[in-house]
Structures are given as C-alpha cells and as structure tokens.
Chain A
Amino acid sequence: MKKILILSLMLVLVFSLVATAQAQVKVTYWTAPNPPQEVFWRNLSEKFNASQNKINVYVTAMVETPSSESTITNAVAGGKAPAASGNIFPGFGATLANSEAVVALDTLPGFDEIIEKRAMKEIIEGWKFADGHVYILPVYANAMLFGWRIDTLKELGFTEAPATYSGIMDVGKALKAKYPDRFLIARKELIEPTWWQRWFDFFMLYNAASDGRPFVTGNEVTADDEAVIKVFKFYGDLKANDYLLTMPATDPFETEVSIWRSLGPWSFPGWKERFPELVINKTFVAAPPPLPDDVGLSYAKTFADAKGLVIYAQRSPEEQAAIWEFIKWVFTDPINDLAWIDATGMLPMRGDLVTNSTFDRVFKEHPELIPYADEMAYAVPAIANEKFSDIQTILSDKGLVPVVLGKVTPQQGWADAKAAIEALLK
C-alpha cells in the first residue's frame, strides 16, 4: 500500500513537472560575447525565471567569429535565430529591418511604458527608422568624448580644454614649440579605410559641426556639406602642421606622446590597472568635440557608440511575446540599469541618468563617468542605413584619407565622396 502511495505521488510529481514544462514558453536571448554582459544578462534571466513560471529565458553569448553580425545573419538564414539578441547597432539593425528579420518594437504592448520609465522620449526619436518604426531598443550608449592631458595643457599655459578648431591649433603651436617630438593627436586610423573607425574621428566632429544633421536619410545624402568640408579641412590642417601622428604608437596618450584623443568609458578600467596616474580633472579631462569657430553653439553634439536589442520575426508570436515580457521586466526597473553599470562600466541609454537618484552612488564612485552622462542627450547614433559600411568606407577612401594625406582639397574630397555615396544609394 505504501509503495503504491509513493509511486502515485511520484507519478503526480512527474506529470506536474512535465505539465509545467509544457506550459512554459522557452526563449533564448543572445548577449554580446563579453563576460561582464553575459554575467549581467544571466543574473537577470535567473531572477526573472524564478519570479514566475510561464516563461523560461535562456541566456547565451553569441559567437563573434568572424563577427557577431555574420553570426546573426547565419542564424537568421538557417532559421535558428534566438527570440532576441543584443549588440545591435543602427546600421546592422537597418539590414535586419529591411530584410524583415526583426519586429517593430513600437507596435508591441508596453513599449511606451519603457520609453517613459527610462525618460527616452527624445532619445528614441533618433532611433526611428525611415518607416517611422523602432526596431532596436537602445540598451547602452557611450557618448564619445575627447580626452585631453590637462596636466600638459596647464604646462603650456592653457587652463582648460580648447572648444574650437582655432583653439586646438593654438594648443598645437604651443606644444610643438615646447615639445617638437610630441603631437596633439596620434591616430594612424586617419589614413586607414576601416569603416567603423570613422565613428571615432569623423562623426564625432561632424555631429558637433552640423548640430547632429543626419548624414544619410533613406536613400539620400543629407549631410551638411559645409560641416563635412570643415571637418575634413581641420584634420588635413592637423596633419599639414605636423600636429597629427599617423604612425602606430603604443599608448600615445597615456605616455604623453600625444595629448588629445577620442575617449570612451571602456578605457577607464584598463587605465586603473596600467596607468593609475591618469585621474580625471587631475591629469586628464573628458570634453565634448570641438566646434568650428563660426558655429555659435553652447553645446556640441557627438557620436553615440550605442547598441541595443532586437526581437526576431522568425520566432513564433508566443516566443516574441515571452521575450518581450522579459525585456519589459528588465528595462522598467532602474535598479537593473544600476546593475548594468556595475557589471560593464558603460552607461545605460536613458535620459535621466544625472537626475535619477538611483545612480548617485555610481557617479560618486566613478566621477569619470559624469561627463559621459552629461553628454548623453547630445549623442547621435550611427547611420541607420543598410549600406552603412560602404558609405563609411567611401567616406574614408574618397574623402577623409586623401584629404589628410594632402592628395586632394577638402572641397574636392567631399565632392568625390558625396558623388560616390549618391551613386551607391541609387
């Protein structure tokens, strides 16, 4: 009798488990192949799975060989896409959206709640695609700034980082007079065609000079011609005056070979280990991009190295709804954004970072992140066009690189690049 009772209980238990498992919707989320991000998403999925029993989220890192974009492409092509994935920048998002591979997130219930709770009403405007829909939910953004060696600047007689092109030229002149072997900036990428490097030189200055005017809209080049030419000329002048080093150099900013560089917050953990003498406001400062002298703005826009997540259209509506529940659960609680900063050292994309008291502790512990949070509202995401890499390669090959090398004038360089980009977009 006892045996029958135990057996019955076990059967009930097994059936219950099976029934629960069957009722549960299992979904997969692919995170960037980056240990801090993996840990962040795994922790949250475990908490979410424990908080309810209808959805089970499995988090795994995507493969990054040869690139995370090609891994996603292969998965979509093979019908094996996850329910959602992160690490998507606007250009690749455009490829996915144009291929009908991802879901328009603004059509899903609760989208507005996320936008409201993250104070992203204005930010999300920059993430709308040509058809007016939002396909990528921005997760984090590094509003790119320029780092200045304030110790050297003070030594040269400047009390703060220059904010205009002529101010920078003045610093260059003073630097060369005192240290002929040093440079304002060391950036060999300025003579290389690598398309994504343009985010960290050209687009930082272009967004500032043009007040964030879109470079491409749909299939048209809508760039501010004057702003492009000014940026080209500025980089050309830096090289012509020997203020720009285009040879490879090991840690040039850190070793004072150069005193100016584009700077993302990902550099800080490494500096803490290898260059502890680099302390914000003591040896370096992080400042917005400089402006051309005749642009009378009180702020300078910059490039946003931002990535977000997408939901894949090839998964069933139940799976899409399930992963959306998880996403809503994650992004409507600022505590999770705090955990994100603690795990990754990068700032989440939200409009209230400076004003929301949840983040006070972070900025107290990491004052170097304050300028990045301040600049967040002025950060413009990458071109949202599926030919993003070709556009930026042409910009390099026909425009910026020949101008820096002194082969063509800034006007000619932009005329050539613009004509080639227009031909590409036709």
Chain B
Amino acid sequence: MRKSRNPNRMKKVGWVEVRGWFFTSPYLVFTLIFFILPLIWGFYLLFTNWNLISPQKEFIGLLNFFEALKSPKVHAAFFTTYKAMAIFMPTVLISSLGIALLINSIPRFKGIIAVAFFLPYLVSGVAFSLVVKGVISYNSPLSPVFRQLFGYIPDWLGTPILAIIVISLMITWKLSGYYALIFLSGLSSIPKELYEAADVDGATSWIKFWKITIPMLYPALYTVMILAVGLMFGIFTEPYMLTGGGPQLATHTWYLEIYYQAFSAMRAGYGSTIAFINAIVTFISIIIIRKIMEGWGKAYGPV
C-alpha cells in the first residue's frame, strides 16, 4: 500500500531547502558572476581574434589553437614547467618533510615554530624577488666569496640551467613551510603504538622512517604532490621580476605567455587559448601524478 505524504513535513522540508539555497546564494551568485560567466566568455574568445575593443570581431575557428601549438613560446612554457617541476618537487618534498620532522620532534612551542616556517608563504613574491636579485647580483657581498672559491662569479640568471634552478629554489623556499604544516598534521596522526611495536622488533630510526612514517604520511604526501604539481603551472612573479622569461626562453612559463598575449599584445582570444591549453595540460599532469601516487599508495600506503 502506498504511503500517504505528510503535507506538514513536505512544507517543512521545502522551507529548509529554500533556506539552504538562500544561505548559499551569496557564494552561488559570486561564482556565477566571477567564475561561470567569465569562463563562458573566455570560451567564446578562444575562437576569435578580438582585442576586446575593436568593432571588428572575427570568428577564426581553431586558428588560435593551431598558432599556439606551433608557437616556440608555448613549447618553451611547456618544457620550462616540467624542468622547474623536476627541481621543485624533490627539493620541496625534502625540505618541507625535514621541517615537519624537525618541528614534530620539538617538545614545546610547535605551533609558534610552525607558523614561523609558514611566514615565507605570506611574503610578497615581488619583494622576495628583489631581495634575491640583490643577493645574486654582481656587486653583492656573496660575489667575492664565489670569486675566491671558484675563480669566477656565476651568472645566475644569464645561464639557462642556473636561472631555472634559482627560480625553482625560490618557490621551494616560499612553499616549504606551507607544505610542512600539511606534513605536520599527517605526522601527528600516526599512532605511537606503531613506533613502539617497531622498537620492540628492534627497528632502526632509518627503517622506522621508511617503513612507518613515509607510508603513514601517504594522505599528506598525496595532497602535497597534487598541490605542488598544480602550482608549477602557475609560476609568474619570479620569472617576471628576475628574467622576463629569458635567457632565450629558459624560464618562460605559461602565465608569462598568457600575461604577455592578453595584456601586452592585447590579444584576448589568443591569450584565452593559451590559458585553455594550460588548463588541459595541468589537468592531464595532475591526473598522471594522481595515478602514480595512487599506485604507490596501493603498494606501500597505509590502506
């Protein structure tokens, strides 16, 4: 027999739903205005050569895509990202994990020290770039040291490989404290009993680190890896301030190219196209890293 509906209950549920929509509406309206509509607009721009102000607006199909895929600057942005990733990922993992282990081993004031390491994340990229520029400049106090030790002063920003290393290490410095907080929360959730059991079995610290700490940190490691990969596709301030993408495109990134096309060359359509390709490449890269991490997690993780 079919149950009869309770009209009062329905009314109550309906009111709850209305209230729910009402309270979420500011976020929804914000998302609609500042995310969904620009996204649709940006998608439309992909197929035009419009500069946003000209009365002439041409629909050019996929020409922007063809141009972008052939562009040496887009190729450079693609490879620069992976080169930076190859330097940034290991350095940031080692340093942030090191900071987290260090803080975790301190008996008191963990919070304050963790916040101190987090501070670089809040430092303006522009200000930090200026400081780095000063430190590696020809007339910095470090130069005589290099000259005495090696007989010359390295051209940090004029040598392609050194320039990408400098930029990657700057990002490592900025992000290490932030990622260390994630690792710290992961470390605090590892049950102490596991280490006690290992002690009973006579495991060394080295074995405990690799067999307990790292596998049990899998969720934190997973989060950090995904965040770090995503971040690499959005590098802008450091190369913009220090190298302008040079020497010879060695530090040319996706965001530098998007900024240049959209705001210097005033090519809104082409700039949107590069942003779209960047989004796809980012998405694919994150999926690949996710798969690798999940594979590793299945083999060695805590589950």
Residues of A within 8 A of B (CB): 66-67, 69-70, 73-74, 76-77, 92, 95-96, 98-101, 186, 188-189, 191-195, 197, 245-250, 252, 255, 257, 386-387, 389-390, 393, 397, 401-402, 405, 407
From known contacts A95-B51, A250-B137, infer whether A191 and B247 are also in contact, taking CB-CB under 8 Å.
Answer: yes
Chain B residues near A407 (CB, 8 Å)? 248
A73 with B138: CB separation less than 8 A: no
Task: Tell me, yes or no, whether B158 is within 8 Å of chain A by CB.
Answer: yes
A247 with B158: CB separation less than 8 A: yes
From known contacts A247-B155, A247-B158, A250-B137, infer whether A401 and B53 are also in contact, taking CB-CB under 8 Å.
Answer: no
Docked CA distance A387–B158 (Å): 28
* Number of A-B pairs, beta carbon distance below 8 Å: 100
Q: Which of B90-98, B109-117, B222-230, B261-269 has 4 or more CB atoms under 8 Å from chain A?
A: B261-269
Residues of B within 8 A of A (CB): 51-55, 133-134, 136-140, 153, 155-158, 242-249, 259-260, 262-266
Known interface pairs A73-B51, A389-B265; 11 further A-B residue pairs with C-beta atoms within 8 A, sorted by A's residue number: A69-B263, A70-B263, A73-B53, A99-B53, A100-B54, A188-B157, A247-B155, A257-B138, A386-B51, A397-B249, A407-B248
Chain A residues near B265 (CB, 8 Å)? 387, 389-390
Chain A residues near B266 (CB, 8 Å)? 69-70, 73, 92, 95, 386
Docked CA distance A77–B52 (Å): 6
Q: Which of A95, A96, A98, A188 contacts B158 (CB 8 A)?
A: A188
Distance in angstroms from A399 CB to nearest chain B CB is 13
From known contacts A77-B52, A192-B246, A405-B247, infer whether A247 and B264 are also in contact, taking CB-CB under 8 Å.
Answer: no
From known contacts A257-B138, A257-B139, infer whether A402 and B51 are also in contact, taking CB-CB under 8 Å.
Answer: no
Chain A residues near B249 (CB, 8 Å)? 193, 397
Chain A residues near B140 (CB, 8 Å)? 250
A252 with B264: CB separation less than 8 A: no
Q: Which chain B residue shows the least CB distance to A393? A: B260
Q: Can you list 28 contacts pairing A with B, beta carbon distance less than 8 Å?
A: A66-B263, A67-B264, A69-B264, A70-B262, A70-B263, A73-B266, A92-B266, A95-B53, A95-B266, A98-B54, A99-B55, A101-B54, A192-B245, A193-B246, A247-B137, A247-B138, A247-B155, A248-B133, A248-B156, A249-B137, A249-B139, A250-B134, A250-B137, A252-B138, A252-B139, A387-B265, A401-B248, A405-B247
Chain B residues near A405 (CB, 8 Å)? 247-248
Distance in angstroms from A49 CB to nearest chain B CB is 30
Docked CA distance A73–B139 (Å): 41
A193 with B158: CB separation less than 8 A: no
Distance in angstroms from B13 CB to nearest chain A CB is 43
Docked CA distance A407–B248 (Å): 11
Docked CA distance A245–B260 (Å): 26
B247 with A250: CB separation less than 8 A: no
Docked CA distance A70–B261 (Å): 11
Chain B residues near A98 (CB, 8 Å)? 54
Distance in angstroms from B112 CB to nearest chain A CB is 34
A192 with B244: CB separation less than 8 A: yes
Chain A residues near B137 (CB, 8 Å)? 247-250
Distance in angstroms from B142 CB to nearest chain A CB is 12
Docked CA distance A74–B266 (Å): 11
B139 with A250: CB separation less than 8 A: yes
B138 with A77: CB separation less than 8 A: no
Docked CA distance A74–B153 (Å): 45
A192 with B243: CB separation less than 8 A: yes
Distance in angstroms from A3 CB to nearest chain B CB is 50
Among A99, A393, A405, chain B packs the most CB atoms within 10 A around the CB of A99
Chain B residues near A387 (CB, 8 Å)? 265
Chain B residues near A245 (CB, 8 Å)? 138
A247 with B52: CB separation less than 8 A: no
B139 with A74: CB separation less than 8 A: no
Chain B residues near A70 (CB, 8 Å)? 262-263, 266
Chain A residues near B155 (CB, 8 Å)? 246-247
Among B53, B262, B266, chain A packs the most CB atoms within 10 A around the CB of B53
Distance in angstroms from A104 CB to nearest chain B CB is 16
Chain B residues near A186 (CB, 8 Å)? 138
Distance in angstroms from A4 CB to nearest chain B CB is 51
Q: Which chain B residue shows the least CB distance to A100? A: B55
Q: Which chain B residue shows the least CB distance to A196? A: B264
Docked CA distance A189–B243 (Å): 8
Distance in angstroms from B208 CB to nearest chain A CB is 45
Q: Which of B52, B156, B244, B263 contacts A193 (CB 8 A)?
A: B244
Among B134, B137, B138, chain A packs the most CB atoms within 10 A around the CB of B138
Distance in angstroms from A108 CB to nearest chain B CB is 21
Among B133, B139, B155, B248, chain A packs the most CB atoms within 10 A around the CB of B139
Docked CA distance A67–B140 (Å): 31
- The 5 nearest A-B residue pairs measured at CB: A99-B54, A192-B244, A194-B244, A249-B138, A77-B52
Q: Which chain B residue shows the least CB distance to A249? A: B138
From known contacts A257-B139, A389-B260, A389-B264, infer whether A247 and B247 are also in contact, taking CB-CB under 8 Å.
Answer: no
Docked CA distance A402–B140 (Å): 27
A248 with B136: CB separation less than 8 A: yes
Distance in angstroms from A366 CB to nearest chain B CB is 29
Q: Which chain A residue shows the least CB distance to B154? A: A247
Q: Which chain A residue shows the least CB distance to B140? A: A250
